[in-house]
Amino acid sequence: MLHEFSYIEPGSLSELLDFLKEHGSESAVLAGGTDLFVGIRASLSHPAYVVNLKHVPELRELTFDNKEGLSIGACVTVNELVEHEAVSKHYGILRIAGEELATYQLRNRATVIGNVVTASPCGDMSSPLLCLDASVELISAAGSRTMLLKEFITGVKQTQIKPEEIVSRITVPTTFADAAGGYEKLKRIKGHDLGVVAVAMISTKKATRVAISSAAPTPVLLPDFAPDANIADMQKAAQSAISPIDDVRCTKEYRAFMVDVYIKRLREGIQV
């Protein structure tokens, strides 16, 4: 039997934050719901309240500014990101990775921030956002705070969100705008599937950045490499940073092997 809960639909940001101030520890927020309702059906989540964010206008905004960069609101779907002109022009790696996430139909509901907040080691959006030096804005009735994405995810399904907070937006600065980039993802089957292991890479004339998912408890951002860094040094740094595991989808040895393969493939394929 489906777990029973009360459905809350705030119409403003203040109404939302006031509700979470009182009931945050008993609540689950709904943006896309692609993970939330699966968890409820599987009895993995038992919220007393499900709080819909979609009717708060500020949380639906997706904007780009030449100085401030890209701002992705909490309810922006993956398809909205993928199809945004400024994203394709300035942050191509986000479009490439976004198109690897599930199916087109699911991407119409799944949100970018939801994919990050779920904090799955195999999430498709976290590693490219790490490469781009993205930051996370958390808000509550008490105020707001901002931190780098690399500090936000702390473990498997664990983040720094407090019960009364939501992630209102992710900001991607212009630091690495227009960087050449790529995303390689190993799947069990052809087509759309969860990532067994994935590597994101961007490169500019100043630096090359690499992030790896599904090879450690959290997505891993490697230290920046010089533009002329060789493949072997990048692979060595990656192997020192990851801690892959054996599971039903893959062995740890094969995960480690494919990280090296993807670093080589991306390094040779990205033209700055």
Write down the pTM of the prediction.
0.96
Residue 272 corresponds to which tokens in the numbers above? 């700055």
Q: For 102, how many CA atoms within 13 A lie in the half-sphere containing its CB?
A: 18
Q: Are 166 and 27 in contact (CB under 8 A)?
A: no
Q: Are 187 and 214 in contact (CB under 8 A)?
A: no
Distance CA 101, CA 193 (A): 8
pLDDT tens, the chain, 272 aa long: 578 999 999 999 999 999 999 999 999 999 999 999 889 999 999 999 999 999 999 999 999 999 999 999 999 999 999 999 999 999 999 999 999 998 999 999 999 999 999 999 999 999 999 999 999 999 999 999 999 999 999 999 999 999 999 999 999 999 999 999 999 999 876 656 677 999 999 999 999 999 999 999 999 999 999 999 999 999 999 999 999 999 988 999 999 999 999 999 999 999 87
Give the DSSP H or E segment for 265.
Answer: helix 252-269
Q: Within 10 Å of residue 134's Cβ, how many Cβ atoms?
A: 25
CATH of domain 6-52: 3.30.43.10
Would you give the end-to-end CA distance of the chain in angstroms? 55
Given 3.10.129.10, 3.40.50.300, 3.30.465.10, 1.10.1060.10, which CATH number is that of 57-175?
Answer: 3.30.465.10
CATH of domain 178-269: 3.30.390.50
Amino acid at 10: P
252: nearest Cα among 263, 234, 264, 239:
239
69: nearest Cα among 178, 152, 144, 153:
178
Domain locations in the chain as residue ranges: 6-52, 57-175, 178-269
Distance CA 95, CA 90 (A): 10
Say whether 178-269 and 57-175 share the same fold.
no
Q: Within 10 Å of residue 124's Cβ, how many Cβ atoms?
A: 29
Distance CA 35, CA 183 (A): 23
Q: For 185, how many CA atoms within 13 A lie in the half-sphere containing its CB?
A: 27
